[in-house]
């Protein structure tokens, strides 16, 4: 159940707030529609409910606000706008990445793909999906963690008639199993067709909060539904009779042999049909404009809006959901339950038992306009993915799995690494031909004129991309656990960036040595005698650039800013550090490394002081000291912004 209380957005300069003191409820087991035109405040209401926008008011999901939940994605499934994600990522890879972030098994991706009908498109890129397939993928993302509540912003926008029918059936199936569904729509007819409860907004204010029967009776036009094999002739006769009687009657020809007559009654229409000998198969008063525009399936019976909750999605569907959950629970075993903080609600897979529309089903009848669906049509509802067992507690491996799948799911990192190797090899060959470059710099393709070698720039770019993509293609932006402000994810990104930078550093040197040997022979391919200290400095430089890219991109929310911070270190920070160190002073710190060794390093067992001394020498170099200073400043700034966002 959703309880929204006093939702109010922040004022916009001299304009009134987009949402002003809106309160409503969306009950479990029902589909609730948030209705309103453009600018009514529907999307703003959802963003305030999900705590994605600053404002006043509070929203309770089964009794708890979203920020008090240990696993919000397992309680609320969200679809706002298009599916966020990198356009080059595959459908299956995107869902598996979200599985790692939500802490659910990877097999869940295949289960939801089968439910939404995207199994055949699982290897397609997100950027190539049509609008209908994108909506299906969005629903799959929302259902991934088996949430109790679905919050969807105009999910049927741009869909075809068939796709709308499928989507509404899937939402109805979720509600039939005891879940809560809240969706927005600008179309009153769609709200009357699909929802059980309609909340109407206008210019940011609540104007109506009604059951669908009351909504259809007060907000939609009554009509007479007619089915006749002589639909064209009968429509002409009705229009002619209306002109003769000087009455305002509208006749709409719909699919097949169906007519919708507005402004008349069953008695008048039936009298005209009798006087002209027109055979009529159906004649019924209906409240609620269900057409035109939505063509009925010839093998199913369209429900009436004035019937209230539809039994087709009631007891039979709820029993089917309960049986499936019981079977899944028996397979998973006993004793598995959701745990988090004490304030968190039960797992989303454990429904609160509220079955949707506990009513009895009746056989359809064409007499007197009774078009209620039969219980057998409940089998037409789409099957939802089975419930899943919730892992007992968050583990450090969850963000690491997410980061590995994020990095490996797109070819940007591999292309960057390949480009770095090619540029580095060509640069090493050119420098060897020109001469005047030390052997150590030659092996890493680092000319004196460049502030950083290609490998360091590539590592910095990889680090910047790891956080920059989170803001450019925010796969988890609709989730309460927005990725860029989690320290666990920061640690995972730093670890993955370190491994990638280390691999790039080793491959670059190996590739350069091999190319130099092939072109110029063994003389330039020899390993220096002080290779250990040089390797430590080289690895420290490349890994430090990768870390600088990660921290700067996470702090400034941009890949470009992350790479700019990496380049700024040798261009700006190194000269400043050298100027401070070499400037005039009364006393100098000459002999500091030796005294530090005597005080701190002489007591280390197993010769550990040698490694610390090597690290101190690396940091003591101008580039190493400047890079260490920059990393410290970026890390402190990142931690400060993270803590400040949590305090708010």
Residue 211, pLDDT score? 92
CA distance 6 to 53: 14
Segment 542-551, tens digit of pLDDT: 998 999 999 8
d(CA 31, CA 37): 19
Q: What is the mean pLDDT of residues 626-630?
A: 69
Give the count of beta carbons closer than 10 Å to the beta carbon of residue 603.
8
CB atoms near residue 32 (< 10 Å): 23
**What whole-number distance in Å separates Cα of residue 71 and Cα of residue 388?**
14
Tokens 């199994």: give the residue: 119
In 3-state terms, the chain is what percent helix, strand and coil (to 5)? 55, 10, 35
Contacts of 13 (CB under 8 A, 6+ apart): none
Q: What is the pTM of this model?
A: 0.71
* Range 286-325 burial, b when 16+ CB lie within 10 A, else e: bbbbbbeeeebeeeebbbbbbbebbbbbbbbbbebbeebb
3-state secondary structure 580-636: HHHCCCCCCCCCHHHHHHHHHHCCCHHHHHHHHHHHHHHHHCHHHHHHHHHHHHHHH
Distance (Å, rounded) from C-alpha 299 to C-alpha 283? 19
Is residue 225 within a helix (H) or strand (E), and if so which, with residue range?
strand 222-227
Question: Can you tell me the distance from the alpha carbon of 595 to that of 58, in angstroms, rounded to the nearest whole number?
Answer: 60
- % of the chain surpassing 70 pLDDT: 73
Q: Which two tokens stand for residue 6?
A: 């006093």
pLDDT (0 to 100) of residue 523 = 83
pLDDT score of 94: 92
Return the minimum-mean-pLDDT range out of 134-138, 266-270, 367-371.
367-371
What is residue 611's predicted lDDT score, i.e. its pLDDT? 54
How far apart (Å, rounded) are the C-alpha atoms in residues 372 and 365?
A: 7
Check: CB of residue 473 under 8 Å from CB of residue 82: no
- How many CB atoms are closer than 10 A to CB 483? 23
Q: Which of 293, 319, 314, 311 is nearest to 371 (CA)?
A: 311
Nearest CA-CA partner of 313 in 261, 357, 271: 357
- For the beta sheet containing 197-202, the strands, ordered from the edge strand earlier in sequence to the opposite edge, are 76-80, 149-153, 180-185, 31-35, 197-202, 205-211
More confident residue, 643 or 257: 257
| C-beta neighbour count of 626 within 10 angstroms | 22
List C-alpha distances in Å: 156 to 137, 165, 170, 294, 470: 13, 9, 12, 13, 27
Q: What is the CA radius of gyration of the chain?
A: 33
Instruction: Give the model's confidence band at 252: pLDDT under 50 very low, under 70 low, under 90 confident, else very high.
Output: confident
Q: What sign does the CA torsion over 336, 341, 347, 352 have?
A: positive
Q: Is 387 helix (H, G, I), strand (E, B) or coil?
A: coil
- pLDDT exceeds cutoff 80 at 27: yes
Q: What is the average pLDDT across 19-27?
A: 93
Cβ-contact 153, 43 below 8 angstroms: yes
- The whole-number average pLDDT for the span 615-630 is 60
- Count of all residues that appear for the chain in the document: 648
Q: Taken in order 474, 477, 479, 485, is the CA torsion positive or negative?
A: positive
Q: CB of 456 within 8 A of CB of 624?
A: no
Question: Cα 129 vs. chain centroid, distance in angstroms?
Answer: 16
Number of H helices, E strands in the chain: 21, 13
The answer, yes or no, to whether residue 337 has pLDDT greater than 50, is no
The CB density around residue 648, as the number of other CB atoms within 10 Å, is 6
- Three-class DSSP category at 394: coil
Residue 647 has a pLDDT of 46
Would the pLDDT of 616 be above 60? no
82 closest CA partner among 499, 452, 473? 473
Q: Which of 10, 7, 44 is nearest to 24 (CA)?
A: 7
Q: What 3-state class would DSSP assign to 105?
A: coil
Whether pLDDT at 477 is above 70? no
Q: What is the pLDDT of residues 555-571, one digit of tens each?
A: 888 899 889 988 888 78
pLDDT class for 256, splitting at 50, 70, 90? confident
Cis peptide before 292 (omega within 30 of 0): yes
How far is Cα 621 from Cα 496, in angstroms, rounded to an integer? 26
Copy the structure tokens of residue 478.
């609709």
Q: How far apart are CA 591 and CA 208, in angstroms?
A: 80
Among 122-136, 437-451, 500-514, name the most confident range. 500-514
How confident is the model at residue 479, as a pLDDT? 46
**Which pair of tokens denotes residue 46?**
């959802």
């Amino acid at each position: 159940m959703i309880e929204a209380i006093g939702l109010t957005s922040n004022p916009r300069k001299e304009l009134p707030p987009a949402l002003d003191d809106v309160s409503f409820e969306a009950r479990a087991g029902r589909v609730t529609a948030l209705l309103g035109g453009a600018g009514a405040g529907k999307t703003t209401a959802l963003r305030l409910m999900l705590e994605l926008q600053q404002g006043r008011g509070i929203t309770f999901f089964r009794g708890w606000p979203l920020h008090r939940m240990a696993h919000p994605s397992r309680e609320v499934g969200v679809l706002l706008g298009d599916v966020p994600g990198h356009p080059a990522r595959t459908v299956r890879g995107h869902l598996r990445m979200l599985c790692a972030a939500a802490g659910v098994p990877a097999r869940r991706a295949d289960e939801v793909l089968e439910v939404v009908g995207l199994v055949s498109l699982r290897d397609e890129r997100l950027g190539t999906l049509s609008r209908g397939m994108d909506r299906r993928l969005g629903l799959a993302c929302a259902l991934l963690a088996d949430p109790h509540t679905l919050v969807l912003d105009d999910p049927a926008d741009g869909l075809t008639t068939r796709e709308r029918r499928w989507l509404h059936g899937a939402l109805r199936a979720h509600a039939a199993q005891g879940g809560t569904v809240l969706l927005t729509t600008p179309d009153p007819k769609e709200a009357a067709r699909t929802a059980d409860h309609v909340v109407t907004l206008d210019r940011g204010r609540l104007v109506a909060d009604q059951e669908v029967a009351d909504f259809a009776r007060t907000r939609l036009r009554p009509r007479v539904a007619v089915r006749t094999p002589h639909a064209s002739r009968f429509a002409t006769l009705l229009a002619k009779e209306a002109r003769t009687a000087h009455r305002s009657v509208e006749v709409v020809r719909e699919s097949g042999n169906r007519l919708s007559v507005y402004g008349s009654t069953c008695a008048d229409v039936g009298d005209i049909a009798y006087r002209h000998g027109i055979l009529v198969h159906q004649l019924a008063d209906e409240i609620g404009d269900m057409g035109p525009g939505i063509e009925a399936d010839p093998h199913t019976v369209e429900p009436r809006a004035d019937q209230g909750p539809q039994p087709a999605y009631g007891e039979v569907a709820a029993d089917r959901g309960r049986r499936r959950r019981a079977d899944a629970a028996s397979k998973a075993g006993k004793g598995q339950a959701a745990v988090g903080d004490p304030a968190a609600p039960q797992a989303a897979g454990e429904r609160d038992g509220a079955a949707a529309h506990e009513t009895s089903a009746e056989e359809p009848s064409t007499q007197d306009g009774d078009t209620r669906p039969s219980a057998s049509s409940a089998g037409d509802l789409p099957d939802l993915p089975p419930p899943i067992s919730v892992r007992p507690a968050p583990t450090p491996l969850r963000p690491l799995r997410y980061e590995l799948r994020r990095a490996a799911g797109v070819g940007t990192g591999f292309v960057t690494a390949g480009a770095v190797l090619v540029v580095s090899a060509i640069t090493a060959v050119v420098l060897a031909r020109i001469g005047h470059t030390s052997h150590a710099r030659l092996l890493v393709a680092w000319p004196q004129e460049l502030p950083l070698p290609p490998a360091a720039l590539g590592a910095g770019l990889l680090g910047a991309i790891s956080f920059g993509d989170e803001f450019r293609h925010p796969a988890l932006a609709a989730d309460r656990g927005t990725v860029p402000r989690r320290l666990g994810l920061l640690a995972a990104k730093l670890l993955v960036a370190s491994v990638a930078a280390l691999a790039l550093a080793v491959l670059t040197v190996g590739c350069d040595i091999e190319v130099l040997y092939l072109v110029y022979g063994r003389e330039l391919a020899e390993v220096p005698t002080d290779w250990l200290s040089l390797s430590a400095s080289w690895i420290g430089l490349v890994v430090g650039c990768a870390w600088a890219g990660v921290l700067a991109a996470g702090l400034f929310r941009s890949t470009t800013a992350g790479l700019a911070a990496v380049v700024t270190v040798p261009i700006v920070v190194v000269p400043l550090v050298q100027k401070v160190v070499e400037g005039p002073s009364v006393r100098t710190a000459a002999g500091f490394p030796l005294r530090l060794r005597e005080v701190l390093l002489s007591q280390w067992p197993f010769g550990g002081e040698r490694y610390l001394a090597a690290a101190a020498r690396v940091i003591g170099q101008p580039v190493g000291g400047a890079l260490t200073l920059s990393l410290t400043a970026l890390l402190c700034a990142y931690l400060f912004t993270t803590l400040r966002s949590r305090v708010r």
